[in-house]
């Protein structure tokens, strides 16, 4: 299918080597592109045809003139049409991969560039899904993306979590919205690594759970069998609850967020291991100093802090 309306064209500088992009690199940086008045005038999220320095087509990209990543490769077929059917093809491929890995519908369904949807994260929680459109093009096309997601997976509730530093870099505002269905009345129970986690899909960090840490949780749980674990920056108990499911003697979870620790405690109760789970709310460094003064000892200590310096300005 060809485009009904001619797409704008952007072009690599003659000095820019096109081979990395042809081999799969997903990004074009601003210093690699011809920046003229027409390119600067493109609205963030515009779909454009990318050409190399010799004017040979390279594929369709999403453009954001306000970002250092000025273009993100969407499809190497210059005649592709980025619509609901296009999203459905990408999502079907992602779903088939997850079906081979997981026996229950609780997982990260889409991990951005790795699944051919740059800047997009989608986490699935049974019949609900949370989309993080962290790039301007995905924000602009959230309608067909959500429609394809419902059609491919059968989820009945779709939530948009428009928060996070990546959106700020794209010039996007923060916004939470229920795109389809009805928001869950409370936390959603998520079975993972033998544990039960309680995910707050509307009020929690990111999408409510860190699915991308799943293998790390499982690895640490093996180390903690029969021992005492200290889980610092615990959030909703990712490492600690997996350890208890694997046979840890006890877990102390430390976090600055009382709501997150309450969700962790609810997960421990749902698993029937509340008597082996304790929480300490407060600044992690202060709590560590206090535990040291108390002479507390643990066989396994997990420290999974947030990014302290995500940018030069923060550093």
Domain with CATH 3.30.750.80 in the chain: 84-180
Q: Tell me the sheet residues that pair with 300.
A: 229
What pLDDT, on a 0 to 100 scale, did the predictor assign at position 315?
77
What pLDDT, on a 0 to 100 scale, did the predictor assign at position 2?
54
Domain with CATH 2.30.130.10 in the chain: 9-75
What pLDDT, in 10s, does the model give residues 228-260?
999 999 999 999 999 999 999 999 999 999 999
| DSSP percent split of the chain into helix, strand, coil, nearest 5 | 35, 30, 40
What pLDDT, in 10s, does the model give residues 102-125?
999 999 999 999 999 999 999 999
Q: Give the relative orientation of helices 238-245 and 258-271 as an angle to the nearest 10 degrees.
A: 10
Q: Tell me the sheet residues that pair with 139.
A: none
DSSP 33: B
Domain with CATH 3.40.50.150 in the chain: 210-303
Q: Which fold has domain 210-303?
A: Rossmann fold (3.40.50)
Q: Which fold has domain 9-75?
A: 2.30.130
Residues of the chain with confidence (pLDDT) below 70 = 1-5, 204-206
Task: Give me the architecture of the 84-180 domain, per CATH.
Answer: 2-Layer Sandwich (3.30)
């Amino acid at each position: 299918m060809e485009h009904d309306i001619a797409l704008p064209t952007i072009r690599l500088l003659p000095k820019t080597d096109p081979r990395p992009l042809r081999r799969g690199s997903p990004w074009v940086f601003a210093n690699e592109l011809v920046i003229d008045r027409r390119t600067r005038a493109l609205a963030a999220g515009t779909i454009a045809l990318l050409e190399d320095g010799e004017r040979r087509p390279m594929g369709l990209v999403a453009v954001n003139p306000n970002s250092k990543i000025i273009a993100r490769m969407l499809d190497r077929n210059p005649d592709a049409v980025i619509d609901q059917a296009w999203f459905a093809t990408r999502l079907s491929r992602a779903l088939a991969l997850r079906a081979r890995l997981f026996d229950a519908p609780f997982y990260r369904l889409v991990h951005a560039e790795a699944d051919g949807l740059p800047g997009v994260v989608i986490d699935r929680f049974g019949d609900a899904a949370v989309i993080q459109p962290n790039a301007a093009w995905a924000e602009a096309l959230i309608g067909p993306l959500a429609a394809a997601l419902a059609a491919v997976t059968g989820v009945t509730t779709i939530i948009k979590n428009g928060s996070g530093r990546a959106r700020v870099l794209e010039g996007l505002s923060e916004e939470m919205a229920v795109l389809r269905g009805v928001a869950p009345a409370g936390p959603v129970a998520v079975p993972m690594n033998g544990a039960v986690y309680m995910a707050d899909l509307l009020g929690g960090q990111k999408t409510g759970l860190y699915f991308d840490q799943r293998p790390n949780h499982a690895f640490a749980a093996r180390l903690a069998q029969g021992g005492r674990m200290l889980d610092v920056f615990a959030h909703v108990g990712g490492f600690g609850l997996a350890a208890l499911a694997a046979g840890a003697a006890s877990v102390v979870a430390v976090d600055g967020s009382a709501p997150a620790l309450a969700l962790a405690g609810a997960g421990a109760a749902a698993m029937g291991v509340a008597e082996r789970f304790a929480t300490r709310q407060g600044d992690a460094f202060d709590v560590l100093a206090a535990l040291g003064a108390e002479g507390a000892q643990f066989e396994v200590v997990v420290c999974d802090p947030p990014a302290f310096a995500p940018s030069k300005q923060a550093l």
